[in-house]
Structure 1
Amino acid sequence: MSNVIKFAVLIVGALMIALIVRVVIVSGSHPSKRVVDTQKVLVSAADLPQGLLLRDEDLGWKAVPTADVPQGAIVSGAPDALELKGALLRHAAASGTVLVAEDVILPSAPGFLAATLKPEMRAVSVAVDDVSGNAGLIQPGDYVDLLLTQQMDRRTDLPDLAVASETVVEHVRVLAVGSEIKRPKNSDTPEVSGNRARTVTLEVTPRMGEVVSVAARLGSLSLALRSFATASRDPAVSMPASAAQPAPVWAGDISRAVRDLPRSRGVQVAAAAPIPVAPRTVTIYRGSEKSDATSGVVPAGDSTPPLPSLPAPR
């Protein structure tokens, strides 16, 4: 009986040892995953050229291990994080590059506007309101056309030429809006400041600057936003000038009522013409003599009764 017990104990012990070995082998083949602490840092969302004014679409967030976060990186949620929207990129950055403070020139930095200008370019400011400035939706880094609208009624008597509009400058970069060079922090809800006039600073050639200065004296200026889908955002790439300036748009080109106005006015003038007048004969008596004379003119068809005849003297 003792041999049977001993044999059973040996079998149980062998099973336990086999179970322990199996657990150790399984644990070794599936090591536990370590939890890596990461932080979201600001990176370039695409290949960005040097000298670019950064926009929302140029920036993105990327999770990076905390140990690999470079010095000066913009960390999401940090209370002292820099705002890079509207800043000038010092050098080209490939997609996914972590951006640090040394990679940009902030709008508040001295000489920011001069550093933003390309060689041989100038900065000129024009006054706009919320309507002509696209309700504050145009921001630094956008490209616009400049439209001039003039009231021509003091220069011509033709109604169809009373108002004219034309494009005086094409595809110029916006450097600043108002006194603020940087973008608003919340771009989804831009600040709209009633109907107050403000300034928009544009990057132009010296010749364009002269055109803008004269146009500001001739009439009101409006900004027309251009799409980025059809033009390069690289500041170093010069946009080709238009082969021919488009013809101005006149009031008569737009409004049929204005085109018909001269004919309508002619009909009204003809209807309001004065009624032809006929001379009125007055009988004059001098003693026994009688003569007729014209004392003035009265409208034809006047119902005024004639003067009574005086009795003949006795």
Structure 2
Amino acid sequence: MSNIIKFAVLLVGALLIALIVRVVVASSSKPSEVKITTAKVQVSAADLPQGLLLRDEDIGWKAIPATEVPANAIVQGAPGSADLKGALLRHPVTSGTILTGDDVILPSAPGFLAATLKPEMRAVSVAVDDVSGNAGLIQPGDYVDLLLTQQMDRRTDSPDLAVSSETVVEHVRVLAVGSEIKRPKNNGVAPETVTPARTVTLEVTPRMGEVVAVAARLGSLSLALRSFATVTRDPAASAAIPVSSAERAPIWAGDISRAVRALPHARVAEASTGGSYAPPLPHTVTVYRGSEKTDNAAGAAGSAATSVAANSVSGAPPLPIVPAR
């Protein structure tokens, strides 16, 4: 009986060993599955023209096999990856194109400011403060108008023309704010801790540059931010849109303030009705007549009248009367 049990145990053991060997052989004969890894690379989010300063909405991320990542591509999470926000696009790209370091000029690269200028354009800087610079909210890549405000009270006696404001340059691109030539990142820094810029560099034509230089000597300059939504990003279409069809007349103080317009009329009304308006006092005139000296306007008038009467009797030509000033 014991031999039968031993034989059964050996048989079961042999079956188990055979089953294990079969599983091992079967698993080794199957081809091993290849594990595919992917990487996210930066791509263009739309058709972008040459010379564009890239913004957040211009770029995106796309997952591709790691084996297909081109050299110098911007890989998400890779150490030392360049930030393409604010970079200049060297050539046109279509939507979905993988962007590499060779496709852009980074803001930290030498000559970046000159590279951002369109052909035949110039860069000119203007001084701004917290008010004229829109409280620091204007950033590189924005489009602005340049307003000139002048104090005209030394050039005219009319209160209506005491102050004037006019737009001297329209639709120019901001290249730099202070020394920053790309849009700042939002790192949670409070606005009051950011040092305000004192200059703004604009992209202008040679003629506009002359206008800005003269306007800076005439009065104070202010920046008016324009909407991005009204301007197409297609260079050909943007060039076909007229910026201004006709010259607009300047705005004067009398065009804005009713009090300034009413000021000359109020003075005339007060003088005619005997109101609180007081005419200026006459200046004292000193008249010398022989050894006599008169130091007031009334005495001067009386002495002058006496002199006229005396000269008319003697036949001598009358002396000129000195009017009170």
TM-score w.r.t. structure 2 length? Answer: 0.67
Once the two structures are superposed, residues 81-134 of structure 1 have per-residue CA deviations (whole angstroms, 9 ceiling, x without a partner) of 212222110011111222111110111211112221122111111111222122
Matching residue's letter, 1:61: W
Are 2:137 and 1:137 aligned?
Answer: yes
Q: 1:246 aligns with which of 239, 245, 248?
A: 248
Q: Which residue of 1 aligns with 2:67?
A: 67
Matching residue's letter, 1:87: A
Once the two structures are superposed, residues 223-277 of structure 1 have per-residue CA deviations (whole angstroms, 9 ceiling, x without a partner) of 11222222233456535353321111112212222222323344556423559xx
Residue 104 and residue 212 in structure 1: after superposition, are their counterparts in 2 closer, same or farther (change >3 A)?
same
Residue 186 and residue 209 in structure 1: after superposition, are their counterparts in 2 closer, same or farther (change >3 A)?
same
Matching residue's letter, 1:260: A
Aligned to 2:171, the other structure's residue is in SS state strand
The whole-number CA distance in structure 1 between the counterparts of 2:79 and 2:135 is 31
RMSD value, Cα = 2.9
The whole-number CA distance in structure 1 between the counterparts of 2:52 and 2:195 is 30
How far the C-alpha of 1:137 sits from its partner, in A, is: 2.1
How far the C-alpha of 1:73 sits from its partner, in A, is: 2.1
Are 2:224 and 1:203 aligned?
Answer: no
Are 2:275 and 1:271 aligned?
Answer: yes
Q: Which residue of 2 aligns with 1:278?
A: none
Residue 90 and residue 262 in structure 1: after superposition, are their counterparts in 2 closer, same or farther (change >3 A)?
same
Equivalent pairs counted in the alignment come to 245
Q: 1:258 aligns with which of 244, 257, 260?
A: 260
Q: Which residue of 2 aligns with 1:43?
A: 43
Q: Which has the higher helix share?
A: 2
TM-score w.r.t. structure 1 length? Answer: 0.69
Residue 51 and residue 233 in structure 1: after superposition, are their counterparts in 2 closer, same or farther (change >3 A)?
same
The whole-number CA distance in structure 1 between the counterparts of 2:188 and 2:48 is 23
Once the two structures are superposed, residues 122-152 of structure 1 have per-residue CA deviations (whole angstroms, 9 ceiling, x without a partner) of 1111111222122222222222111111111
Once the two structures are superposed, residues 137-181 of structure 1 have per-residue CA deviations (whole angstroms, 9 ceiling, x without a partner) of 222222211111111122222222222111101111111111111
Residue 182 and residue 195 in structure 1: after superposition, are their counterparts in 2 closer, same or farther (change >3 A)?
closer
The whole-number CA distance in structure 2 between the counterparts of 1:119 and 1:56 is 26
The whole-number CA distance in structure 1 between the counterparts of 2:90 and 2:51 is 6
How far the C-alpha of 1:195 sits from its partner, in A, is: 8.2
Query: Structure 1 vs Structure 2: percent identity of aligned residues?
Result: 74
Q: Which residue of 1 aligns with 2:17?
A: none
Q: Which residue of 1 aligns with 2:88?
A: 88
Q: Which residue of 1 aligns with 2:15?
A: none
Once the two structures are superposed, residues 174-196 of structure 1 have per-residue CA deviations (whole angstroms, 9 ceiling, x without a partner) of 11111111221228978566785
The whole-number CA distance in structure 2 between the counterparts of 1:43 and 1:49 is 14
Farther-moved stretch of structure 1 (253-262 vs 81-90): 253-262
Q: How does 1:113-152 map to 2 (within 5 A)?
A: 113-152=113-152
How far the C-alpha of 1:62 sits from its partner, in A, is: 2.4
Residue 36 and residue 160 in structure 1: after superposition, are their counterparts in 2 closer, same or farther (change >3 A)?
farther
Aligned to 1:228, the other structure's residue is in SS state coil
Aligned to 2:153, the other structure's residue is in SS state coil
Unaligned runs of 5+ in 2: 1-32, 280-297, 300-325
